[in-house]
Structure 1
Amino acid sequence: MPVQRILVFRLSAMGDVALTVPVIRGMLEENPNLSITFVTRPFFAPFFEGIPRLQLYFPDLKGRHKGFGGLFRLFLDLRKEGRFETVIDLHNVLRTKLVRSYFRAAGTSVFYIDKGREEKKELLKTKEIKQLKHSSERYCDVFRKAGFNVQMSPVPAIASSAKASEKIQEYLESQKLPEQTLKIGFAPFATHATKIWGLENARQLMQLINEKYQAHFYLFGGGQEEIEKLQALSTDNDHITLVAGQMNLSEEIALITRMDFMLSMDSSNMHIAALTGTKTISIWGATHPAFGFYALGQPEEYSLQTPADELACRPCSVFGNKPCIHETIKCMEMLTPNIVFRKMEQLNLFQIQ
């Protein structure tokens, strides 16, 4: 049977690209005559470690493929890769709309994601909480519209490379932690302020845990500002290790797989941890899991949040990019370290496996 080649686009953001992985795996598992070329950024390559019949293509969006002329060159460059029977746009933004229009004009079948914007606007307006379709399921729908059989591959969907796994094994051994020490990953930042619980809350929660349990914390994050803040949090604390800025993405993925559990905001780290199969506890502020961005494969009770019926304004944003109407971020303020700690105990998260 001849191999069918399809072209798939998802350029960003980090969490959204990660959420394509179980779908791409599922597509290739259920369609053995299929080959996928996936257009994304090189930084995200470790997400796709070990997936057969998958080729990654990295556009030069700051150089050769910049601007309208560059996007046409991207179309021409992709055509040089060979003939594609179908183009799948999982991003549906200006860049990908332009490139897919060139393929459509050349006679290639094109399908693109319905992001469910109207449903999300309605939920935001009415505050009537009902679970909307998950982003990964929306990705599946695009392939189904194109005529393919697809079911998401179960978690763990993101795997660490052998090289990174070996390095992390050596790294953990070098720490010489007592045998019964809980290893807890903690990613206290997110893209928008209304999704960030706050470093003081993080510090208090780690203190509450350490007063009762033997635990070591690994702080994850990205960007110089976050790294500096996390560095201040970890300084002079021998039970805290700063990971942010110290490892590449492959190594971070390998380390996350070795955590007893991961604690994160509604962020890319939440999605990455969940997709590795690691227990993932998420803290939610202005946004809500009902919009379809919850951590895949995790129990609903692992999403910790101020109940919407206790705060009339919540949720106030799909993505967390709107300013809070209160002087402080009320939904996060109501979710105190003591409340989070008690909930974690109720979930039996501090039991060594």
Structure 2
Amino acid sequence: MDINKIKKVLIIRLSALGDVAMSIPIVYSVCRAYPQIEFTMLTSPHASNLFIEKPANLVIISAQIRGRHSGIKGLYTLYRELRNSSFNIIADLHDVLRSKILRFLFALSGCKVAHINKGRKEKRKLTTREHKQKKQLKSSFVRYTEVFNKLGFSFNETFISLFQNIATPPLPDGINISDNSKSLIGIAPFAKHKGKIYPIELMEIVVSQLSSSDKYQIFFFGSKGHEETIINEWTNKYSNTISFAGKNLGFETELSIMSQLDVMLSMDSANMHLASLVNTPVISIWGATHPYVGFMGWRQDKSNTVEIELPCRPCSIFGNKPCWRKDYACLYEITPEMIIEKIKLLINSKK
């Protein structure tokens, strides 16, 4: 299709939060390169809140996958609602059953479609227990770009930060993180799966050592419940610490806070990607997973990763598989001193 004849493009990336976050630099870049075309992003209601300061030609639509759009019947309802927008092009950045059904229906109606190649075969070879083929795979950013390239779009990656064209949004009353006398450190100590989480007893050592210095102010990020409980125990025990865990601040406020940090310490998790979206350097800890899979944060420096090279790593794409060794050596062999040294080196390099 002639690019000049394209009027409306539907982009599909329904979940998960980190993957949607990784799509933003590419989606914003292509939108800004083609201001004459209207792009619509179909995603989850929760993830739709990530699209802050979006390009003027980008529309966000939420799919109610757990509501009226659930199941085959619900997906057909969603298709009928979407087809009224007269899309010319469908860019499937997800390639799961739901998105496959949607793009199939649009293809039947005459739309040009393209979908992401997730490299599933390569990833299986990278994570297999025997005959592992350990090499760097394409990043998700490259894979997303390839989808648009297949559809005829050519563009440069112009995204720097969600706040690159505006002043950092002001924080709500009662939240003040500025302190010119201290380096500001964010810590997001949790992830969805055990294979990604640095042992809590070791992370507490990191916290205790950093908090003992008045040169640093530590801010914790986490969700309600278990994470909030542990983090609150730390803030009660250690000085120079503040918790945002379980506060329901909203993405704009959390991202505003993250944008003002000197460094974020995170697992291979959504928080790594959120901090990346506001151009904050991240020290990322990797256990069962590996940067080779292609899930590093946007423009993050590989030298800021903390990991132990073991023959069994990576054993999992998402960190959800039980440890073959039963000891999670990939995480327990990372010492608190290794992490603290990385943080201090990064902070000192910014002075």
TM-score (norm 1): 0.91
Tell me the residue number matched to 1:326. Answer: 325
Tell me the residue number matched to 2:252. Answer: 250
Indicate conservation of the 8 Å contact 1:161/1:254, yes or no. Answer: no
SS of residue in 1 equivalent to 2:347: coil
When residues 14 and 302 of structure 1 are mapped into structure 2, their CA distance, relative to the original with a 3 A threshold, is: same
Tell me the residue number matched to 2:158. Answer: 153
After superposition, what is the alpha-carbon deviation per residue over 1:181-202, rounded to whole angstroms, capped at 9, x for unaligned? 1111100011110100022222
Q: How does 1:125-136 map to 2 (within 5 A)?
A: 125=128, 126-136=131-141
2: CA distance between counterparts of 1:85 and 1:184? 46
Number of residue pairs aligned between Structure 1 and Structure 2: 344
Tell me the residue number matched to 2:197. Answer: 196
2: CA distance between counterparts of 1:272 and 1:2? 35
2: CA distance between counterparts of 1:283 and 1:75? 40
SS of residue in 2 equivalent to 1:118: helix
The gaps in structure 1 that reach 5 residues or longer are none
- Is 1:166 the equivalent of 2:170? yes
Tell me the residue number matched to 1:78. Answer: 82
Q: Offset of 1:106 from its aligned partner?
A: 1.2
Decide which of 278, 290, 298 is 1:288's aligned counterpart. 290
Q: Offset of 1:340 from its aligned partner?
A: 1.8
The one-letter code sitting in structure 2 at the alignment partner of 1:57 is I
Decide which of 115, 119, 124 is 1:121's aligned counterpart. 124
Tell me the residue number matched to 2:180. Answer: 179
Q: Offset of 1:317 from its aligned partner?
A: 1.1
1: CA distance between counterparts of 2:91 and 2:207? 44
Q: Offset of 1:272 from its aligned partner?
A: 1.1
The structure 1 segments of at least 4 consecutive aligned residues displaced by more than 6 Å after TM superposition are 160-164
Moved more, 69-78 or 162-171: 162-171
After superposition, what is the alpha-carbon deviation per residue over 1:90-120, rounded to whole angstroms, capped at 9, x for unaligned? 1111111111111111111111110011111
Tell me the residue number matched to 2:148. Answer: 143
2: CA distance between counterparts of 1:205 and 1:105? 56
The one-letter code sitting in structure 1 at the alignment partner of 2:347 is L
- Is 1:337 the equivalent of 2:336? yes
Indicate conservation of the 8 Å contact 2:211/2:218, yes or no. Answer: no
Indicate conservation of the 8 Å contact 2:6/2:89, yes or no. Answer: no
Say what the alpha-carbon RMSD is for the aligned residues.
2.2
When residues 169 and 155 of structure 1 are mapped into structure 2, their CA distance, relative to the original with a 3 A threshold, is: farther
Indicate conservation of the 8 Å contact 2:45/2:64, yes or no. Answer: no
The one-letter code sitting in structure 1 at the alignment partner of 2:280 is T
When residues 274 and 178 of structure 1 are mapped into structure 2, their CA distance, relative to the original with a 3 A threshold, is: closer
Q: How does 1:15-26 map to 2 (within 5 A)?
A: 15-26=18-29
Q: Offset of 1:228 from its aligned partner?
A: 2.1
Q: How does 1:222-233 map to 2 (within 5 A)?
A: 222-233=223-234
Q: Offset of 1:123 from its aligned partner?
A: 2.1
When residues 240 and 111 of structure 1 are mapped into structure 2, their CA distance, relative to the original with a 3 A threshold, is: same
After superposition, what is the alpha-carbon deviation per residue over 1:233-279, rounded to whole angstroms, capped at 9, x for unaligned? 22243421111221112110111001111000000100111121001
Indicate conservation of the 8 Å contact 1:168/1:254, yes or no. Answer: no
The one-letter code sitting in structure 2 at the alignment partner of 1:193 is K
When residues 272 and 234 of structure 1 are mapped into structure 2, their CA distance, relative to the original with a 3 A threshold, is: same
SS of residue in 1 equivalent to 2:170: helix
TM-score (norm 2): 0.91
2: CA distance between counterparts of 1:279 and 1:168? 24
SS of residue in 1 equivalent to 2:171: helix
Indicate conservation of the 8 Å contact 1:40/1:56, yes or no. Answer: yes
Q: Offset of 1:179 from its aligned partner?
A: 3.1
When residues 251 and 30 of structure 1 are mapped into structure 2, their CA distance, relative to the original with a 3 A threshold, is: same
SS of residue in 2 equivalent to 1:327: coil
After superposition, what is the alpha-carbon deviation per residue over 1:119-146, rounded to whole angstroms, capped at 9, x for unaligned? 1122223444321110011001001111
After superposition, what is the alpha-carbon deviation per residue over 1:73-93, rounded to whole angstroms, capped at 9, x for unaligned? 00001122x210101111111
SS of residue in 1 equivalent to 2:207: helix
The one-letter code sitting in structure 1 at the alignment partner of 2:312 is C
Q: Offset of 1:323 from its aligned partner?
A: 0.3
After superposition, what is the alpha-carbon deviation per residue over 1:26-60, rounded to whole angstroms, capped at 9, x for unaligned? 10122222111100122223322122200001122
Tell me the residue number matched to 1:266. Answer: 268
- Is 1:66 the equivalent of 2:70? yes
1: CA distance between counterparts of 2:259 and 2:346? 19
When residues 98 and 2 of structure 1 are mapped into structure 2, their CA distance, relative to the original with a 3 A threshold, is: closer
The one-letter code sitting in structure 2 at the alignment partner of 1:279 is P
Tell me the residue number matched to 1:31. Answer: 34
